[in-house]
Amino acid sequence: MESKQPTYENVSLSDDHEEMMSNTEVDESLMGDEKEWQTTGMRRRSRRKAISSVLDKYRWHLDGFLLFVIAALAAVLLLQARRRADPSSRWQVGGDYTGNGPKFDTKVVKWEANMAFSPLNSSEFFEDKTLALWKTLMPAGTGYGYKGQTFFTTSMTHQLHCLYMMARIFSGVEANMTAVLPGDYHFHFNHCVDYLRQAVMCSADLSMEPHEPSDSDELGPLDGGWNGHHVCKDYGQVINYLERQIVDGVRVVLDIDD
């Protein structure tokens, strides 16, 4: 029996070689990606380390700054809480004692003489033009409150009413025209003197009024009393505020001649 000789086939090396080369390229690619990833990771760690080093270096400064901010915010909140609890912290001269209402702008005003509000000819006081002039000082919407109900007026307009009534009463007596005055004009006059006395003491205007040797002896425009410069509320803002309050039904402003 004849023995079979092993058969050898010629195997192409090109396929194996290409496969080995492909595997090598993949390995090199993976190794390259791994190196790049390691490099990126090292850079990130280095950056974090640098940032951490800076933070550690200035840690006490940052902690101190943050504590300062927290303390400042706490102080502001505490102050606001106290102001809400204590109306006196919101008081302003001439404002309501509850602290409600806006804080008006102020301006420096030099007063000027204007005798048109109280003419030297007493009979002229009773002309329509004089009353019309006084009404320009009042807000729009004046009138009486609801009958039988509590309502709130305003001290400033009450003071203006008193000034008007004092000038009217004086003019009526001076011109012998007391028939046009209210029956209680004696009491009304004395009431207004007392009311305005306390109003002046309350506002306590401390503006200095320089008197020069050349001042006129008369009480007209050249009198030294007109030389002062006064810190006043912006009267336009006051009137606008009162008009809004009248519309909203918060206040009632009586007519100046009521």
**What tokens were used for 193?**
């003197």
Among 13-17, 73-77, 143-147, 151-155, the least confident range: 13-17
Per-residue pLDDT of 49-92, as tens digits, reads 777 776 676 677 777 788 888 988 888 888 777 666 665 566 78
Q: What are phi and psi of 109, to 5 degrees?
A: -130, 130
- Break the chain into its structural domains and give their ranges: 13-87, 91-247
Q: State the pLDDT at residue 255.
A: 95
Q: Compute the C-alpha angle 7/12/14, nearest 5°.
A: 165
**Per-residue pLDDT for 162 more than 80?**
yes
Give dist(CA 166, CA 122) in Å, integer.
12
| Residue 254 near residue 143, CB atoms below 8 Å | yes
Average pLDDT over residues 34-47: 63
